[in-house]
A and B are shown apart, each in its own frame.
Chain A
Amino acid sequence: MNTFLSRLNTIFAFTLSVMAALTFGCFLSTAFKENKTAVDIGTTKAVVKNVPNFAASTRDRNDLGQIAFDLHTELSSLFNWNTKQLFLYLTAEYETKSNKLNQVVLWDKIIRRGETTKLDFKSMNTKYYFFDDGNGLKGNQNVTLTLSWNVIPNAGTLPRIQGEGSYIIQFPDEYKQ
């Protein structure tokens, strides 16, 4: 503390320590939030095609689901002073003969701080192909659509949360040509 530089060093180090403590306090103040909210999902179209899957190594014909979905939700309750952005993703979950659990992400969206948190989509197309790895989609009566999200914080953990509300797609028994 006797010279200019030693004082600068001490003040800077002390400020950094206090900054770390503040950040930890910010994390603690939001660590126990549930980050859950209700989501309304529906579909306006659900057809299944049998086409070659060019993404797979074999050129077999696999089931391709094509859906258009409605999504309605209000996510402002997920934003607080420790939220940088939200990553939303729409997942289809179903069971086939070959796999007990299949999960396919069909659509996603990033909501940054300050952007609109009220989502109201009608007949949205999916972003990603809904390919099954076999023929498990035709006539599948129990394909569950759910919206989940990651809350990306300023400091703390990266929780993965499933929205409250789901929709069950029933695919037709015939392939669409």
Chain B
Amino acid sequence: MLKLFKSWTTHMDYKGQKLAEQLFQAIIILFAVVGFIWGYMCEQFVQTMYVLGAGFVLSCILTLPPWPMYRRSPIEWLKPRPEENSEDISKDKDKKQIKKKSKSK
């Protein structure tokens, strides 16, 4: 069960994270302003809290799951360099070869 949860990837790319943050901030502040005015008009502060709660739920729905809009610009990694260029890698390679030899014996 726990493995199933961990296997879900919920990451966003960097631009997606920025978009998500701006989106939920805008939604919550908008709902807060509307709720403040609405609560003042009907003389019930609890109405303000309800409207803010609605903003919270909406921004959760819109920004918690990694919707495709937050994964439009994935990071472009450099292609791996050819192994021969690096000494360290070649050393590792040598070791591996040695190991292989020893195994074959």
The chain A residues found within 8 Å of chain B, CB to CB, are 1-4, 7-8, 10-12, 14-15, 18-19, 21-22, 25-26, 29, 79-82, 154
Contacts and interface: CB of A to CB of B under 8 A. Distances in A.
B98 interface: no
Interface of B: 10-12, 17, 20-21, 24-25, 28-29, 32, 35-36, 39-40, 42-45, 48-49, 52, 55-56, 59-60, 63-66
Contacts of B44: 81
B20 A22 contact: no
B53 to A, nearest CB: 8
B24 A14 contact: yes
Interface of B is mostly: helix
Given A11-B24, A14-B25, A29-B40, A2 B11 contact: yes
Contacts of B64: 4, 7-8, 11
A11 B49 CA distance: 16
Given A3-B11, A4-B64, A21 B45 contact: no
B29 A18 contact: yes
Contacts of A3: 10-11
A29 B42 CA distance: 14
Contacts of B39: 26, 81
Contacts of B63: 7, 11
A47 B74 CA distance: 89
